Amino acid sequence: MSRFPSRWSPPRGHCRLPGALRWLLALAVAWSLTGAPDAAHAALRVVTTTPDLAAITQAVGAGRVEVTALAAATQDPHFVDARPNLALALAKAGLLVEVGADLEVGWLPTLLTGSRNGTIQRGARGWIDASTLVALLEIPAGKVDRAMGDIHPQGNPHFLLDPRRAERVAVGIGKRLAELDPAGHQAYLDAAKRFVADLRTARTGWESRLATLRGKPIVGYHRSLAYLADWLGLVVVEHLEPKPGIPPSPRHVADVVNVGKARQVGLLVQESWYPTTTSSVAATNMGARLVVIPGMTNFARGQSYHDFLATVVARLETER
Ligand SMILES: [Zn+2]
């Protein structure tokens, strides 16, 4: 997996065909490998960029939709290889759901072009930008772009670590499914209502289990815990990455350790796709416990969004 924003291209010198033709050839090869598409049993094919969105869509889809996630649960969603087989999935989709806020800007535009599917292009009815359904945090006051080394130029895109925001997203997806597949209109709205009700019940229990963490200072690896902190009342005092997307430097880590000691930080929290070498040393040096959370729902293994969050809660839960 690339740790850099990737734009898929064939090896240099191998092929001098125009870009569009290369994509068509790549798609043709992929079609020949996978065979003709399955008979359309599902009323709607939905592709989501992340497995979190896939799990939410699956829950809201009332058994009427076929859902595919482009990124794996173990993959940093900022950096996904834009392989032609992902464009093939998009080519057959009737709805695309992306996180938005530039989370996928390094890889999704190439795939969308390669899909040659007008139904799911930006602005179409078959496209949902989930970031427009929630209140975003950390929207930069001035102009910031990725060239300045910050991969959150539109605000923090990691809002699915907050179940309250996931509820908003589920309702938004449910409404759009109801529009696109009128025969399932009521089924989608009912499923979204059930999803929200179940999650509300669950999160009341999670909030009380983690009540002792309220107001507690923590350190993160990537600037991805803002919404988790917002939900649970945690205070993120520092991050090992000096800026989102910039790997920790020894000097910055030393500064973070000093802050961690001064603020008596008890937890250093990171997603499983970041290395733990630096963070485990930093955690030890500041007297904190390193907590590795899964980061995203393991949709490929049938995990639900509820079970993913339950895992995150269990990892954070500690007697201190
Ligand atoms: Zn990020």
CA 37 – ligand 1 centroid, Å: 34
pLDDT digits (tens, 9 = 90+) for 206-259: 999 999 999 999 999 999 999 999 999 999 999 999 999 999 999 999 999 999
CA 235 – ligand 1 centroid, Å: 18
pLDDT for res 318? 76
CA 156 – ligand 1 centroid, Å: 7
CA 160 – ligand 1 centroid, Å: 12
Residue 282, class by beta-carbon neighbours within 10 Å (0-12 exposed, 13-18 middle, 19+ buried)?
Answer: buried
CA 277 – ligand 1 centroid, Å: 20
d(CA 151, CA 105): 9
CA 273 – ligand 1 centroid, Å: 12
Instruction: Please state, in angstroms and as integers, the Cα–Cα distance from residue 8 to each residue in 19, 45, 82, following that order.
Output: 11, 24, 5
Residue 193, class by beta-carbon neighbours within 10 Å (0-12 exposed, 13-18 middle, 19+ buried)?
Answer: middle
Quick check: 44 and 94 in contact, CB under 8 A?
Answer: yes
Quick check: 219 and 240 in contact, CB under 8 A?
Answer: yes
Would you state the structure tokens that stand for residue 230, as one six-digit string? 């917002």
Mean pLDDT of the chain: 89
pLDDT for res 241? 97
CA 107 – ligand 1 centroid, Å: 14
pLDDT for res 103? 97
Q: How many CB atoms lie within 10 A of CB 101?
A: 23
CA 154 – ligand 1 centroid, Å: 11
Instruction: Please state, in angstroms and as integers, the Cα–Cα distance from residue 177 to each residue in 83, 95, 117, 127, 181, following that order.
Output: 27, 8, 18, 11, 6
CA 171 – ligand 1 centroid, Å: 24
DSSP 8-class letter at 206: H
d(CA 228, CA 235): 10
CA 101 – ligand 1 centroid, Å: 10
CA 48 – ligand 1 centroid, Å: 18
CA 53 – ligand 1 centroid, Å: 16
Quick check: 89 and 70 in contact, CB under 8 A?
Answer: yes
CA 74 – ligand 1 centroid, Å: 14
CA 152 – ligand 1 centroid, Å: 6
Name the residue among 99, 96, 95, 54 with its Cα closest to residue 72: 54
pLDDT for res 312? 97
CA 262 – ligand 1 centroid, Å: 26
- The b/e string for 108-136 (b: 16+ C-beta within 10 A; e otherwise) is bebbbbbbebebbeeeeebbbbbbebbeb
Q: What SS3 string covers 244-295?
A: CCCCCCHHHHHHHHHHHHHCCCCEEEEECCCCCHHHHHHHHHHCCEEEEECC
pLDDT for res 246? 93
pLDDT for res 10? 36
Name the residue among 305, 228, 272, 269 with its Cα closest to residue 51: 305
Residue 235, Cα to own-chain centre: how many angstroms? 22
CA 24 – ligand 1 centroid, Å: 32
CA 104 – ligand 1 centroid, Å: 10
Pick the CATH number of 207-316 from 3.40.50.300, 3.40.50.1980, 1.10.10.10, 2.60.40.10: 3.40.50.1980
In 54-170 the beta strands, taken as DSSP E runs, fall at: 65-69, 95-98, 127-129
pLDDT for res 150? 80
CA 79 – ligand 1 centroid, Å: 10
CA 122 – ligand 1 centroid, Å: 21
Does the fold of domain 207-316 match that of domain 19-204?
yes
Residue 108, Cα to own-chain centre: how many angstroms? 13
pLDDT digits (tens, 9 = 90+) for 48-65: 999 999 999 999 999 999
Dihedral sign (CA 61, 67, 69, 73): positive
d(CA 245, CA 158): 13
State the first-to-last Cα distance of the chain, in angstroms, to the nearest integer. Answer: 37
pLDDT for res 26? 56
Overall pTM > 0.95: no
Would you state the structure tokens that stand for residue 194, as one six-digit string? 């059930």
- CB-based contacts of 112, cutoff 8 Å, min separation 6: 90, 96, 120, 121, 122
CATH class of the domain comprising 19-204: alpha beta
pLDDT digits (tens, 9 = 90+) for 93-116: 999 999 999 999 999 999 999 999
Domain ranges, ordered by start, for the chain: 19-204, 207-316
CA 66 – ligand 1 centroid, Å: 28
CA 26 – ligand 1 centroid, Å: 30
pLDDT for res 291? 97
Written as tens digits, the pLDDT of the chain (320 aa) is 333 333 333 333 333 445 555 555 555 544 444 433 343 578 999 999 999 999 999 999 999 999 999 999 999 999 999 999 999 999 999 999 999 999 999 999 999 999 999 999 999 999 999 999 999 999 988 776 666 668 899 999 999 999 999 999 999 999 999 999 999 999 999 999 999 999 999 999 999 999 999 999 999 999 999 999 999 999 999 999 999 999 999 999 999 999 999 999 999 999 999 999 999 999 999 999 999 999 999 999 999 999 999 999 999 997 44
